Amino acid sequence: MNTITAPDVGTSGNKPRKTGMARLWELALRKKLLVITSCTLSVFSVAISFSPFIAIYSLIRELVTHSADLSGLDPVFMTKLGWLACGGAATAILLNFVALMCSHIAAFTTIYQLKLDFTRHVAALPLGFHSENSTGKLRKIVDDNIEKLEGFIAHQLPDLVGSIAMPVCTLAVLFLFDWRLGLASFIPIILSYLLQMTAFGAKNAQTFLNKYQDSLEEMNNAAVEYVRGIPVIKAFNQTIYSFRRFHQTIKTYGTFCLNYTMEFETYMEVFLLIINHVYLFLIPVIIVLSGGVSDYGTFALASCFYLVFSLSLATPFIKLLYVAQNGRMILNGIERMDTVLNTPPLLETAAPQTVSEYSVCFDRVSFTYHDQKEIAAVQDVSFSARQGAITALVGPSGSGKSTLAHLIPRFYEVSAGAVRIGGVDIRDMSSEYLLSIVSFVFQDVFLFKQTVADNILIGDRHAGRAAAVEAAQAAQCHEFIMRLPDGYDTVIGTKNVHLSGGERQRLVIARAILKNAPIIVLDEATAFADPENERNIQKAFETLMKNKTVLIIAHRLSTVRGADKIVVLDKGRLVEEGTHNALVKAGGRYSRMWDHYSAGQNWSISRKEAPDSPVKPA
Ligand code: ADP
């Protein structure tokens, strides 16, 4: 086999990915210039926002000083102070606006790129990954975890820088007029921060956060499952209470939220109490100091300034607290995203090969699912499926038929042995090429909420409308498509557009016909599930299967009688292979299955023969 290389799975190539704060900064600084500009402007905005306070204070001081004789006021200086107050406020607002604009552009371009990288990576992962990781979990990563980064870059990062600049400027301003009152205002701030550090620095804060995220993820999964299961509930007339898991996950989530809140409630209340009421610390200091002052007017003015200014202290410090709390949540979300990004996609060969002959050969293939280590789903299976022939896989439920079929397009990687197409190991082909030569007609018919034509063109993006119509005609869908409100331009899933099960199946077959891959793997349930459309579907399949290597996962023996080869599986092992007649003659496993099947058929025929005589229970 050729050298295998792993494609780059993220931003850091083959180097180990950064973790924690380093990773957060790496992601936040993807648009470095914009982010740095935003942070710098934010700092300037904060610094300038103090100028109105200082200007107004100076204005009042001038007025108080010259209160006895107002003619002593310097009008030019007073006007300058007025302009400083207005101009300072306007500049601070403008700078903040530009800072937020830069941070928003940086945030949206970063998360757009990140979402693209993530979805591309998820799409490149083998199907096995998807069966082990729920849609709910992946949806939460894309919608919530990555989205949170937008808030961090757009708002919290400038807030963080601003909130760090704010205390520094506050400190400078507070100590500018009277250091004793400045100190009295600053002590409560230090106190409240020590309190927060004690609460959130505690070990159990991280444990809480992990459990909180887990329960949120669980609830998401259960919600997706619940919505998907609604048809089943209706079909079986079950009440909503049958969805115990969903109910349970909501309860667990509720309990965690409550515990989380209770755990930090006291800390938070004391923090808010202190930070919102700094004046309570100031007043006693003012009273004590007022006894020994000589210039009572100036001291009263300074005291008023500190009391008013202390009221505005809370906002930046509360912001800083939320940045710290959210930072933890974001870090946890990024960690979960990175777990997915660290999952290696399918290994790609360095020297991909192509083939001109398309027989499929299983050579001593074994496969074990990730979560079923003790039992192999497929064990030491060898057989070949000839080009231009139909090979049917039969066996009891759970015997490994679907697993074997999934190994052909490398939805899973074999644990031992090899799958070969035209003599070439499928691992020596590029996955893109492999997928282009195999058509998989799944049991679950999935149609996108796009036009009928687009749904067919998924088979071959480059084929034109004419080719799509031709494929639809071959798949016996043209007539019903033309009856739809907008023909081929009808969007599936919109109001008044209802397709029957058989019609949906034929659309999927049209897709496969358009793809025209030389190897077809199909589930018999897809082919014969709808008796009303059976003749049409049969016709569609005849077109699809012409001169191809066809593997059918068979559930009903009647449909495989005409197969060129029947492969009989049991408990993951190949027990017999041959044509129907040869296998019946051999009197082995297949022959017994056929006897059972025929007996079942005869029983149903005898019931049909006597429709008026209901079978009474014995
Ligand atoms: P069949 O198609 O013959 O019904 P399958 O190939 O679906 O059988 O299953 C073979 C065995 O592998 C069974 O024991 C089944 O429980 C197990 N299996 C199938 N799919 C998965 C999966 N995604 N994860 C773990 N085990 C699986």
The pLDDT value given to residue 3: 40
106 pLDDT band, cuts 50/70/90, is very high
Over residues 214-240, the mean pLDDT reads 71
Q: 412 C-alpha vs ligand 1 centroid, how far in Å?
A: 12
Residue 372 in contact with ligand 1 by CB distance below 6 A: yes
Superfamily for domain range 17-341: ABC transporter type 1, transmembrane domain (1.20.1560.10)
pLDDT of residue 446: 75
Which DSSP letter does residue 617 get?
A: P
Q: Cα 278 from chain centroid? A: 44
Segment of 88-97, 120-129, 282-291 carrying the highest mean pLDDT: 88-97
pLDDT at 131: 67
Q: What percent of the chain has pLDDT over 90?
A: 18
Band of residue 21 on the pLDDT scale cut at 50, 70, 90? confident
Long-range contacts, 290-299 (Cβ 8 Å, 24+) = 297/64, 298/61, 298/64, 299/178
Q: Which of 617 and 596 is assigned the larger pLDDT?
A: 596
Is the pLDDT score of 486 beyond 60?
yes
Residue 550 buriedness (CB in 10 A; 0-12 / 13-18 / 19+): buried
Segment 277-291 shows an average pLDDT of: 80
Secondary structure of 233-288 as H, E, C letters: HHHCCCCHHHCHHHHHHHHHHHHHHHHHHHHHHHHHHHHHHHHHCCHHHHHHHHHH
pLDDT at 383 over 90: yes
Scored b (16 or more CB within 10 A) or e, 517-537 reads bbbbbbbbebbbbbeebeebb
Mean pLDDT of 130-146: 76
Q: How far apart are CA 330 and CA 54, in angstroms?
A: 38
Superfamily of domain 360-601 in CATH is P-loop containing nucleotide triphosphate hydrolases (3.40.50.300)
The percent of residues in the chain predicted with pLDDT above 70, rounded, is: 85
**Beta-sheet pairing, 438-441 with 360-367:** unpaired
The candidate with the shortest Cα–Cα distance to 146, out of 100, 121, 113, 105, is: 113
Q: Ligand 1 within 6 A of 403 CB?
A: yes
Grade residue 202 by pLDDT with cuts at 50, 70 and 90: low
Between CA 456 and CA 469 the distance in angstroms is: 9
Task: Say how many Å lie between the CA of residue 375 and the centre of ligand 1.
Answer: 10
- 518: DSSP letter: S
| Å from CA of 404 to ligand 1 middle | 10
Q: Is the pLDDT at 6 greater than 60, yes or no?
A: no
Residue 360 has pLDDT above 70, yes or no: yes
Query: What radius of gyration, in Å, describes the C-alpha atoms of the chain?
Result: 36
Best probe residue, ligand 1, of 365, 366, 367, 403 (max atoms within 8 Å of C-beta) = 403
Which stretch of 196-205, 329-338, 372-381, 537-546 has the lowest confidence by average pLDDT?
A: 196-205
**One-letter identity of residue 273:** L
Return the axis-axis angle of helices 534-545 and 465-474, rounded to nearest 10°.
120
| Average pLDDT score over the chain | 80
Ligand 1, atom 20: nearest CA belongs to which residue? Answer: 403
- 362 bridge partner residues: 383, 419
The answer to whether the CB of 369 is under 6 A from ligand 1 is: yes
Q: Tokens 């496993």 — which residue? A: 589
Pocket lining: 397 vs ligand 1, CB cutoff 6 Å? yes
Residue 192 above 50 pLDDT?
Answer: yes
Q: Is residue 506 exposed (0-12), middle (13-18) or buried (19+ Cβ within 10 Å)?
A: buried
pLDDT score of 606: 38
Closest-CA residue, ligand 1 atom 26, reads: 369
So what's the pLDDT on residue 480? Answer: 87
Q: How confident is the model at residue 212 (pLDDT cuts 50, 70, 90)?
A: confident
Is residue 16 predicted with pLDDT exceeding 80? Answer: no
DSSP state of 486: T
Q: What is the best residue among 127, 367, 402 to mutate for testing ligand 1's pocket, by most ligand atoms within 8 Å of CB?
A: 402
Highest-confidence segment of 205-219, 228-242, 314-328, 370-384:
370-384
Domain positions in the chain are: 17-341, 360-601
Q: Is 395 in the pocket of ligand 1 (CB under 6 A)?
A: yes
Listed in sequence order, the residues at least 6 apart from 344 whose beta carbon sits closer than 8 Å to its beta carbon are 6, 9
- pLDDT beyond 70 at 515: yes
Distance 144 CA to ligand 1 centre (A): 32
Tokens, residue 491: 């969007």
DSSP 15: S
Ranked by mean pLDDT, which of 221-235, 301-315, 410-424, 462-476 comes out on top? 410-424
Residue 274 makes CB contacts below 8 A (sequence gap 6+) with 188, 191, 192, 195
3-state secondary structure of 311: helix
pLDDT in tens, 533-573: 566 667 777 777 788 999 988 877 777 878 899 999 999 99
Q: In whole angstroms, what is the distance from residue 163 CA to residue 471 CA?
A: 63
Q: Is the pLDDT of residue 520 over 50?
A: yes
E-strand spans in 269-377?
348-349, 360-367
Q: Does residue 400's CB lie within 6 angstroms of at least one atom of ligand 1?
A: yes
Give the pLDDT score at 264. Answer: 77
Q: How far apart are CA 227 and CA 231, in angstroms?
A: 9
pLDDT of residue 281: 82
**Using a CB cutoff of 8 Å and minimum separation of 24, what contacts does 57-63 make?**
57/177, 57/301, 57/305, 59/85, 60/301, 61/298, 61/301
Q: Quick one: the chain helix, strand, coil %, rounded to 5?
A: 65, 10, 25
| 398 alpha carbon – ligand 1 mean position (Å) | 5
pLDDT recorded at residue 610: 40
pTM of the model: 0.60
Among 54-58, 176-180, 535-539, top mean pLDDT goes to 54-58
Q: Are 478 and 540 in contact (CB under 8 A)?
A: no
The confidence band for 191, taking pLDDT boundaries of 50, 70 and 90, is: confident
pLDDT higher for 90 or 443?
90
The ligand 1 atom nearest the CA atom of 397: 4
pLDDT of 607:
39
For the Cβ of 402 lying below 6 angstroms from any atom of ligand 1, the answer is: yes
Q: Could you tell me if residue 246 is left (phi over 0), alpha (psi between -120 and 50 degrees) or otherwise beta?
A: alpha
Instruction: Judge whether residue 454 has pLDDT over 70.
Output: yes
Q: What is the largest CA-CA distance in the chain?
A: 125
What mean pLDDT do residues 444-466 have?
Answer: 84
CA of 372 to the centre of ligand 1 (A): 10
For position 67, what pLDDT does the model report?
76
